[in-house]
Amino acid sequence: MKTLRFLNKLYWPFAMAAAAACFAQPVAAQSAADFYKGRNLSMVIGYAAGGGYDIYARLLARHMNRHIPGNPNITPQNMHGAGSLKAATWLAEAAPRDGSVIGTFGRGIPLAPLLDGVAFDALKMTWIGSITEDVSLCLSWHRSEIKTWDDMLKKQFTVGGEGSTSDPDVFALLIKNTFDAKIKLVSGYPGTKDIGLAMERGEVDGMCGISYSTVKNGYAEHLKAKRINILVQAAMHKDAGLPDVPLLIDRARPDQREVLTLILAPQAMARPIAAPPAIPNDRKQALRAAFDATMKDERFLADAQKVRLDISPTTGADIEKLIAQLYATPKDVVEKVKHAIRQ
């Protein structure tokens, strides 16, 4: 995983103490198979139906139960609000800690406690895996005057957002404050699907922080008909399918790169799946093993291909390590990042 190797070099000296804080689990009173047999396993989705996170989560729900001991039914439940922060906070603070609930939320949400003082501990979450790595984009509708990255810097670019901790808001403010882009953020939409409709209606020019995988899946006809402009890609590395679209970090000065790195690194866990803290260890291991097996399942991969979903998984152990490294970021860098995403 390229992002994790990059962070190893950048922050590893600071991460040793954080990484050493292991996730001790209580001993289960029954085997994982006995626990899950005949049970419904809830999958909480932090966004409204129809968006990228929802599509990925429902695809996983259709296949992962075959690989969990006891083969429980997996029931998706949408809990949108505040750019998926509502679901993440519920999962971390209020959900049952017995392995009966898993969930998905925005890739940037694990940084919310570090950057926004949100009251949950991302280091204690039970990380199951991520279905793919991804690249986030800024894009505009074809009728907008904003056609290129340079246009974003010179002309007012009105973009839609979901909430202060959501990717569309964070990336819009990051670009505005770091590069002096002429961005006006209109927040409060339930998800990127709703922002896309607002873009088509002319309410906003476009959006930032939308995944390329979502664009390829949900905006395929618009891409083909050239009704959207892809302005910049935000990740640690370019997507091979966008060779001519500038990479945000390449536009940064050397002193800005460490600020951008903290925000861009979570692209390596673009579709995270997690359980609450402190679930029994055998259930944690069963869920991780089931997730990993699903990522190699031919039926799962065939279904993903049918709906044009990228599959490039990250293990729960690697996410756990990545989170520890991000939380070991020096405090002065964290303060710079807070300033860079301030409204």
- Do the domains spanning 2-133+266-340 and 136-263 agree at the CATH topology level? yes
CATH superfamily membership of 136-263 = Periplasmic binding protein-like II (3.40.190.10)
Q: What is the mean pLDDT of residues 98-125?
A: 94
Question: What are 246-258's pLDDT values in tens digits?
Answer: 999 999 999 899 9
Q: In terms of Cα–Cα distance, which of 217, 226, 242, 209 is closest to 143?
A: 226
Question: Which range in 167-171, 257-261, 300-304 is most confidently predicted, on average pLDDT?
Answer: 300-304
pLDDT in tens, 50-106: 889 999 999 999 999 999 999 999 999 999 988 899 999 999 999 999 999 999 999
d(CA 198, CA 116): 27
Of 274, 298, 260, the residue nearest 103 (C-alpha)? 274
Q: Where are the domains of the chain?
A: 2-133+266-340, 136-263
Res 334 pLDDT > 50: yes
Q: So what's the pLDDT on residue 189? A: 93
Q: What percent of the chain has pLDDT over 90?
A: 82
Paired with 211 in beta bridges are 136
* Torsion (CA) 37, 52, 80, 222 in degrees, nearest 10: -150
Q: What CATH number is given for 2-133+266-340 in this structure?
A: 3.40.190.150
pTM: predicted TM-score of the whole model, two decimal places: 0.84
Residues 6+ apart with CB under 8 A from 127: 272, 273, 274, 316, 317, 319, 320, 323
CA gap 260, 62 in Å, rounded: 36
Binning pLDDT at 50, 70 and 90, where does residue 29 land?
low
**pLDDT above 50 (res 119):** yes
Alpha-carbon gap, residue 196 to 198, rounded angstroms: 5
Q: Show Cβ contacts of residue 247 under 8 Å, excluding neighbours closer than 6 positions.
A: 232, 233, 234, 235, 237, 238
Beta-carbon-side half-sphere exposure of residue 76 (alpha carbons within 13 Å): 23
